[in-house]
Homo-oligomer: A and B are copies of this chain.
Amino acid sequence: MHKIVRNIPRPDPEAVKILGELGVATVHEAQGRTGLMKPYMRPIYPSAKAAGSAVTVLCQSGDNLMIHAAIEVCKPGDILVVTTTSDSTDGMFGDLLATSLVAHGVVGLVIEAGVRDVSELTAMDFPVWSKAVHAQGTVKATAGSVNIPIVCAGASIQPGDVVIGDADGVCVVPRERAPEVVKASQARFAKEEKNRHSLREGKLGLDMYGLRAKLKELGVEWTEE
């Protein structure tokens, strides 16, 4: 029942790069407000930023055996995405594992559990998004899987999906949708740039987005006092 899949399809690296630069908020909007992880997934330092191809890991809670198994099948440009069979805040990952990931070209970690050695990870500039910071150690006793479809922090992920993380959280872009999401994200970015300019000059969103009519239709009234 438990397995480690060695070879997975991976997204176009250029698409990954662009999506990472455009950032979580823009990409999430551009793909129709889907793929976002829950807000409890926070970066361990404010400037953490990463984008990569997902290698997925399902671990027993409190057991990081499968993270070790996953590293062997990682390739440069991958991002590790780890969840557990039930809610856990254990510190399943620390600077030794990060050292190993860096040696294999992995660009970051998304883990729906805890992480430790956060000072060292910050010094290494190894970006991590986690549910908790906790020193609690784990065992290596129970089977799990690598590169199977998982649900992480409320988001459904397939191995090889694009995962991007920044200060706003973590977003998943399905691999096959990556090209269209790149386009939609770039279009959104361009539109927002233009809007930003208008707003900076004092124009109101009410006018820019035509919301006055909407407010009236909804029966909202303006009163002087």
Contacts and interface: CB of A to CB of B under 8 A. Distances in A.
Copies in the complex: 6
A186 interface: no
A118 interface: yes
A187 interface: no
Given A88-B61, A224-B6, A28 B136 contact: yes
B143 A220 contact: yes
A179 interface: no
B38 A199 contact: no
A36 B151 contact: no
B88 A220 contact: no
A204 interface: yes
Contact of A205 (B97, B215, B222): B97
Contacts of A68: 204-206, 209, 211
A223 B4 contact: yes
A90 B86 contact: yes
Interface in A36-92: 36, 38-39, 42, 45-47, 60-63, 65, 68-69, 71-72, 85-91
Interface of A: 1-8, 23-25, 28-29, 32-33, 36, 38-39, 42, 45-47, 60-63, 65, 68-69, 71-72, 85-91, 94-97, 99-100, 102-104, 114, 116-119, 122, 132-137, 139-145, 149, 151, 154-156, 166-169, 171, 192, 195-196, 199-206, 209, 211, 214-215, 218-225
